[in-house]
């Protein structure tokens, strides 16, 4: 009986140690994956900026394109993330713009709190395939924005849409473009890296 009890105790000890090793391995794997994910954020953002993947727009110093006779409807959407005490809305809900022509619009932001608040906007374009043709010359989203207590500001955007958008196979069925921004607070330095803009509810399909 004593031998059986000793054997059982040794077996239980082995099982306990095996469980601890498995748990430690799983924890190390999870932390490794999280670290890899954070390290990949800058590379993923660079890839999106170059390719327009995921509805990421392009950045241009100037517009050197010829203006097309064709037009497209651009809709604008604005949201704020939890923790940002701002009101943030587009001044124009939609615009009909000429392809290749430089256009301007703006968003209005209001700090509803009694303290200065810093934020930065993330953005995307839908349909996703339109991102590579949507070029911004100037945008409030390029920089951090700080609003003083109760301050209200208009934040401009200058953009143009490449006429080659009409040649994209993914966009041949007629569409409208929706440009969506979500402002995030910058008190937490990791907020922007972990967040992504929310989808819009008014992504209706229109026509060129």
pLDDT of amino acid 152: 97
Q: Per residue in 89-134, pLDDT tens?
A: 999 999 999 999 999 999 999 999 999 999 999 998 988 888 899 9
Burial 101-115 (b: 16+ CB within 10 A, else e): bbbebbbebebeeee
- CA-nearest of 166, 186, 25 to 120 is 186
Q: How does DSSP assign 36-66, residue by residue?
A: HHHHHHHHHHHHHHHH-GGGPPEE-S---PP
CA distance 26 to 57: 38
- 105 membership: H or E segment, kind and range: strand 103-111
Domain regions of the chain by residue span: 1-51, 55-194
- CATH topology for the 55-194 domain: Ctag/Cox11 (Pfam 04442) (2.60.370)
Specify the pTM.
0.64
């Amino acid at each position: 009986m004593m031998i059986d009890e000793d054997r059982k105790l040794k077996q239980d000890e082995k099982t306990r140690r095996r469980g601890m090793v498995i748990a430690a391995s799983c924890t190390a794997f999870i932390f490794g994956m999280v670290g890899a994910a954070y390290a990949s954020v800058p590379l993923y953002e660079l890839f999106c900026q170059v390719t327009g993947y995921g509805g990421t727009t392009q950045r241009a110093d100037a517009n050197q394109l010829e203006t097309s006779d064709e037009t497209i409807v651009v809709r604008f959407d604005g949201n704020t993330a939890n923790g940002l005490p701002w009101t943030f809305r587009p001044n124009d809900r939609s615009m009909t713009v000429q392809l290749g022509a430089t256009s301007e619009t703006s968003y209005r932001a209001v700090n509803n709190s009694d303290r200065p608040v810093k934020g930065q906007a993330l953005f995307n374009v839908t349909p996703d395939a339109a991102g590579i043709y949507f070029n911004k010359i100037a945008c409030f989203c390029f920089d951090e924005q700080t609003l003083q207590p109760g301050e209200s500001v208009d934040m401009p955007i200058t953009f143009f849409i490449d006429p080659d958008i009409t040649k994209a196979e993914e966009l041949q069925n007629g569409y409208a473009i929706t440009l969506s921004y979500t402002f995030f607070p910058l008190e937490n330095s990791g907020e922007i890296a972990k967040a992504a803009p929310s989808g819009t509810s008014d992504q209706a399909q229109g026509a060129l």
